Amino acid sequence: MDKIKKQLEAEKKRILQEIKSINNSVSEASPDDNAEFFDDVDNLNQRIENLDIKDKLKLVLKDVESALSKIDKGSKGKYGICENCKKPIEKKRLETYPFAKYCTACMNKLENEE
């Protein structure tokens, strides 16, 4: 379990770093806003893309934090349990996505429903 926790903490650090670097690049781009707003479509697209990535990163960060809190609480059997069907998530899946909330079957089902 410690190994997973370390992995999750590293992941959290990495995500926070990425959000930070996106914040930096967005604020660097803003001084051009007024002067070259219409000429700078590429820059604008880049910023929208960055904000999009940031939103996604924040969602992943939430998952990582909730996985971490499940481990921290020490509530046995909570971590690695699918939030949908309450069955254990496949070990292989947890190795790839330590912060997975659903097992592969539920994940596929939920994705198809969207």
Q: Minimal distance in Å, beta carbon 90 to Zn ion?
A: 10
Nearer to Zn ion, 68 or 106 (CB): 106
List 82, 94, 98, 100, residue binding Zn ion (CB under 5 A): 82
The reply on whether position 43 binds Zn ion by CB under 5 A is no
Phi-psi domain of 57 (left: phi exceeds 0; alpha: psi -120 through 50; beta: other): alpha
Least Å from the CB of residue 89 to Zn ion? 7
**Residues whose CB falls within 8 Å of the CB of residue 99, separated by 6 or more in sequence, listed in order:** 8, 11, 60, 63, 64, 66, 67
Which amino acid is located at 47 in the chain? R
Contact string 83-102 vs Zn ion (x = CB under 5 A): -xx-----------------
* Residue entry with tokens 């690049």: 25
Chain residues binding Zn ion by CB under 5 A are 82, 84-85, 103, 106
